[in-house]
Amino acid sequence: MCVKTKGKCTDCAHKALDKLDEKVIDAHLRGIDNFVAGIYPLLPDEICCFLAIDFDDEERQKDISVLRETCFEFRIPLAVERSRSGKGAHIWFFFENPVSAVFSKKIWLCLTHLLHEQKACFGL
C-alpha cells in the first residue's frame, strides 16, 4: 500500500507493496486512509479473475447507465466505482472462476459492441 498519492508508482522511492486482500480493496474503493491500491489482473498462466472497464470521457455517465441496463437485462452482475479524481468511473466484472485472458477480452469486446448498439438504437 502507498500513502503517497501523487506521481507514478514506478518512480516512487517510498512504495511498500503488501498483499491484496478484502480490507485493502474495501479501503481503496471507499477512499479510506488515502492510499493507492493497484493490481495487474493477468496471472502467469494467462488467466484472470475479473474485468474492469475504464470510462473517462464526457459521456461516461450515459455510457455507464446504458451498459448497466444492458447487463441487468442479460443478468450480468457488475460493480460501478467512481474514479478517485471524480472525472471518471470503472465498471468491474468478477468471474466466479478464472477465465483465459482471451475470453475476458472477448467479453469486453461484446460489452463494448452492445454499448454502442444500444446508444445507436436510442439515438444517444
Flag residues of the chain having pLDDT under 70. 1-18, 28-40, 56-57, 85, 122-124
Residue ranges and CATH numbers for the domains of the chain are 1-39 (no CATH), 41-121 (3.90.920.20)
The predicted pLDDT at position 96 comes to: 93
**Among 18, 38, 42, 26, residue whose Cα is nearest residue 104:** 42
CA distances from 92 to 6, 24, 64, 107 (A): 24, 16, 11, 12
Confirm whether pTM is higher than 0.85. Answer: no
DSSP state of 114: H
- Calculate helix-pair angle for 101-121, 60-73, nearest 10 degrees: 110
Strands (E), the chain: 47-55, 79-82, 89-100
Quote helix, strand, coil % in the chain, to nearest 5.
40, 20, 40
Which three cell numbers, joined as nine digits, stand for 78?
457488475
